[in-house]
Structures are given as C-alpha cells and as structure tokens.
Chain A
Amino acid sequence: MKIKKGISLIDQHDQFGFWGGKFGGSFIPETLKKPVEDLTKEFKKLRKDKKFIKKRDYYFKSYIGSPTSFIKLENLTNHLGGAQIWAKVVSEANGGAHKIYNATVHALLCKAMGKKYIVGDTGAGYAGKMLSMAAKKFGLKCKIFMGAKDIKRQKPNCDAMKKNGAEIVPVYSGSQTLVDAVSECMRYWVSNCDNTHMCVGSTVGPNIFVKICGWSTAQISRELKAQLKSEFKRIPKKIKLINCVGGGSSAYGFWSEFIDFDKKQIELIGVEAGGPKKSKLHAAPLSRNAKIGILHGAASYVCQDNEGQINETESISAGLDYPGVSPIHCFLKDTKRARYTYATDEEALNAHVMVTKFENLNPSLEPSHAFAEAIKIAPKLNKDTIIIVNSCGDAQKDRDILKERLGKI
C-alpha cells in the first residue's frame, strides 16, 4: 500500500472506490446506485468546470470568509516552553466551523442537479447548522437528521438550524447520536432520492461523499500553505499539523496540501475521542486498533464487535462521537503517513481550559482534543518546531456542557 505523489488523495482509489485496495467503496442498496452515479458524474464534470470553480471560490471568499487567520499562540507557547504553537482559526469561518465548506459545495451541487430538497446528518450540530445556512442562502428546503442525545447537548446549533428554516428530525434509535443520524438520513435518501440531494457531513459514507467533502475542506490547507510561506518566507523545516478526527473532514482538509511532504518535515497527527477516562467506551477506531468493517456504505476501521455489530461510542464531544472514520484516514494510517492518537474527555476539557486561559481563542470540544495532544508534546520539543493546531470549531455550541463540567459560562 503506497501513496502516490502529485495526485490528490481523494482520487487515489480504484474503480470500485477503494483506497489502498480495501478502504472505502460503495456498499449501498441498489436504489442508491443511480443517484450516487448521477452525483459522481456531476461532481466529476463540475470540478473541472472553470465557471463552477470560480463560483465556489467566490462563495468561499464572500460567504464563508476565506482565508481564516493563522496566528501564533504566544502565551501558550511561552507557558509550555517548548515548540512554537500556532493555530489555524478555522472557527472564524461563517457559522463557526469547517463544516461550512462541505455544506456550501453540496448546496451548489444540489442546485446544479436541479434538486430542490437537501438532507444531511449532524452530530455536533455544525454540519446541520451549516447545511441549513447554505440551504437558506441557495433557496433549498432542508431537513437535518440528528440523534436525540445530541439535540439535547448541542442546543445552540439546533436553535440556529431552526432559525434558518430547517426541519430537525430527531433520531431515537440506537445510541441516539451521530451514527444513528447518518443511518436515518441514508434511509430517508433511499426513499426520496428522486427529488432530494443528500449531504454526508464528513469524509465518510459511500466513496463519492468522501471525495466531495475532502475536495471542499481542502481549502483549509491551500490557505495554510500560502500563510506559511508569507509568515516564514518558505515552508519551515519542522512542522506538526495536529487535528481532531471524528469522520476526518477537518483533518483531511488541513493536511491535503501537505501529504506529499516528507513526514520528517511535516508530521500529520490525528487525535480521536478517547471517551471518559474511566469508561471502556470511546470513539477512536484508528488509535485503538479497531478492525475493518463496513459502516454507512464504506469499509473503514470501525468500533464493532467480532460479529460486525457496531459498538456504542462515548465522547464528551458530539462531533467526534462516531464509531467509524474516513477511509482516507485508514489509508493514511496504514501507509504510516499520519499518526493517530486519542485524548480523553478530561484531557480535552483541560486543554480547553488552558487555551482559553492563555489565549483569546475559544476552541470547541472537538479541536480541544487536538490541543490536548499539542499541550502534551510541545514541552518535549524545541522552539524550531512549529506545531499548528486546526482550531476548527467555536465553543459557543458547547456552553451547556462546559458549564456543567467546569461551572463556567
């Protein structure tokens, strides 16, 4: 298994959609073959269409607010006394997280395909909020599937979805979290694929959804590459790009431009949700050695039992609370291009506390997992090492959880 240079990772799959011969694919019911094929053709055409690219770039700039800033966290760096710590503040993007890139592209695709309805899944509520925003902007009717447990714990984002005129469909099956929301959303699409477009909220699901999402979030690393050059004159000699990984859309977007670099120069570190310290449950299929399985139409490392039943997961962060992960990250893991680890709920909370104490930055619980790893390794490194954390979400949505766990507002 090998990564090819000079070709975008999203295109390095075989004719059946598998990366490295075994991750990804399209394990879908027959009914979805046609809509998936239609979408695949449309995307293939549009991504080469100069007018479409122009349109995308226009909305990325004028609507999403690209580029998001790249800043040095001076106080945190001084406090930890090792490597330099920087942040790419993707939470500045319209809506407060990277999910807006994928949502915007899906809304544009939906329009291009002449569909008037768009549906999507959400865990932390950001994917849902952003899809509802994009739907409103482009005049589409929008339905969001969300686990009942997540509706309770991510209320601010639910309020935003409703304000944007989207219907939230609560999902009560299973663990009532993201995994169930994605299942229910796919079921809805099976029944309504003739007039409805589906957006998968991360780089997961059948092959084409992995590609579209990765293509959308890749904007983050295009910006970062330019910002690195302007800040340091050239790409520094020792960089560590640290990103939380739920489905993996933010991490892929943060890394895509840098995958061809030698890992001694640019190390890619993915941080999964380790769950509560005392719990056996987690949402870390890559770093805790789950086996390959099929979930939501793709083969990936999946938290499951040896009979193929999907395991319940547990994480303080709704956005990372998912038993599967992108096939692209499985590929990056097996080729050893990226390294994956996890942070526990407690470590993420502590990281959130430390970052907000030292910096004018308010990372949500998802990127707080990435900060936990940065805080862990920075003191052991010297100041020539540039750690960059993707601060991909704003903690506004987590205010209830933070209040409960930390007693603050």
Chain B
Amino acid sequence: MTSLINETFKKAKNMSRPALLTYTVAGDNTKKKSLEILKSISAYADICELGFPHNTPIADGGQIQTSAYRAIKNGIKINDVFAIAKEFKISKKTTPIILMGYYNMIYQYDENRFLKKCKNSKIDGLIVVDFPYPENKNFSKKCKRQGINFIQLVSPTTSSIRLKRIIKDSHDMIYYISMLSTTGGKLKVSPRKILENYFKIKNQNKSKNVVIGFGITEKTIKSLKKADGLVVGSAICKEISKSIKKRQNAVTNVTNVVRRLKNKII
C-alpha cells in the first residue's frame, strides 16, 4: 500500500509543480489558534509539518525559537500536540501531517508509546532533528512497522557514501537541508547550486520524494520549484509573531502568506 505522503507528491507531480510543505509550531500561540492555522493553510499546503516546541532547540534559529518558547509559555504539552494533529486529521483526512521535534521528547515519552500515539492520531511522518543516521536506524524501522514515514535528513556536508546509505534506508521522503544553517537563516547559497546538490540526491533513486528546506521564503521559493517539494517554516512563524505584535488575525495573515507561496510555484 502506498502512503498518503507518496500519493500527495504524485498528485503535485501530475500538476507539474512541487508540493508545498509548511512548518508551524504546535500551540503557537495557543492550542486553538494553531489548529485553526493548520486547517486554514491546508487549503494551499500539500503537507503540514507540525513542530513539537522544545526549550533547547539546538538547530533552530530565532523565528522558530520564538514560536516554540511562546507555545511552551502557553502551556502546550506533548499530548496537546497529538490532540491538535488528531483533530486536524479528522477534518483533513487527505492532508499528510508530519511531526517534527527533538529526540528528548520522544525519549521521555518512550519510543513505543510515542509511536502508538502517532498511529492513533493518524500521523503520517516523523522528523527528528537531532537523531541522525545510523543512530536512528532502529527507530526508523519501528516507524515503518507502524506505517509511519521516518524522514531522513541530508545536508550539504553529507558525504557521498553516507548519502547512498541514507537513501537506501530511507522511506518515501528525504529532506535536503539547503545550506549550512539553522532554520530561519538567509539563503546564502545560489538556487542553482542548491538544485545541483538536490539532483545528486534525486538521481540516485527517483522513486524517493526529495524536498528542500531552510531559507525558503516568498522571495526564494520560485527559484527552487524543480524540486519534488519545498518546505517553508520560519517565514510562517515570523508572520505569526508579526500578527500577534500588530494585534492582527494570525490565521488570515498566515493563510495569505501560504497562498502567495503556493501561487509562486504553480
């Protein structure tokens, strides 16, 4: 059986466009708001990544940190993240949801209990930022057994031997980090160079869906549209912060950003 994630990429491919993936932090700035945002942006986003807020996020830049600290301050708990995801999946059955976080949350929750909960909440995929290959091999197998896509990350520093191994052990989707940066960095590599690296990955196994993330904004998204999928995170979190500061409706503002992003790649 093919996964919902695979299906979603196929659909986008049939329309000759990349899939649009969004990243928001669960509970930013409240449980209710973040669910509303998710539901609303999924009119344009093909896949929604939902972040577990963590208070020591070593790979996140300022925008996502701000969102995470805000969510934690508002009392978000792991079970709330699952509740948001579950609720979302009830109304948007065909939109894949990918949870993203740091390994300590899974470790504290217990791997098996965490995966059971994922399955129960209809989670489609998982990204664990600080749990690299090959350390993640066992966990990734466990995910597969539960029908959950474990998404491997690769970066410009990934060696070619390593890349081969990672691709071989990957599931349906691979996440290519565009540059040496935390999230929220300015795109400091030319889109041409990023795509060159991207195709080095893509051409090794065309059946894998490879997405590009980090540094993608309304300004840069168009230049990367040859990819299978593009992830936008910090630009969205930034819009939430801005809306809160200006006392505007974050749901409307963020949805507008996502709509504009989508329009640039269709």
Chain A interface residues toward B at CB < 8 A: 16, 25-35, 173-174, 179, 183, 186-187, 190-194, 291-297, 299, 304, 306-310
Contact = CB atoms under 8 A, between A and B. Distances in A.
A33 B157 contact: yes
Interface of A is mostly: mixed
Given A26-B135, A27-B131, A297-B130, A187 B59 contact: yes
Contact of B104 (A26, A28, A294): A294
Contacts of A27: 103, 130-132, 135
B105 A187 contact: no
B158 A34 contact: yes
10 contacts: A28-B130, A30-B157, A31-B155, A31-B180, A191-B182, A194-B157, A194-B180, A293-B108, A294-B104, A304-B104
Contact of A308 (B54, B60, B69, B156): B54
Contacts of B23: none
B94 to A, nearest CB: 30
Given A29-B132, A35-B157, A308 B108 contact: yes
B55 to A, nearest CB: 5
A34 B159 contact: yes
A304 B108 contact: yes
B252 to A, nearest CB: 29
Nearest to A174: B55
Contacts of A30: 132-133, 153-155, 157-158, 177
B54 A309 contact: yes
Given A30-B153, A30-B177, A33-B157, A308 B107 contact: yes
B70 to A, nearest CB: 12
B165 to A, nearest CB: 12
Contacts of B105: 307-308
Contact of A16 (B135, B156, B162): B135
Contacts of B159: 34
A147 to B, nearest CB: 13
A34 B163 CA distance: 12
B132 A293 contact: no
A347 B77 CA distance: 37
Contact of A190 (B65, B72, B108, B180): B180
Nearest to A302: B104
Interface string B166-187: 0000000000010011100100
Contact of B69 (A16, A26, A173, A293): A173
A191 B104 contact: no
Given A30-B133, A173-B65, 19 more contacts: A16-B135, A25-B135, A27-B130, A29-B130, A29-B132, A30-B132, A30-B153, A30-B154, A31-B180, A33-B132, A174-B69, A183-B58, A187-B182, A192-B180, A294-B103, A304-B104, A307-B108, A308-B107, A309-B54
Contacts of B185: 191
Given A28-B130, A173-B69, A187-B182, A193 B56 contact: no
Contacts of A294: 102-104, 107, 130
Contacts of B162: 33
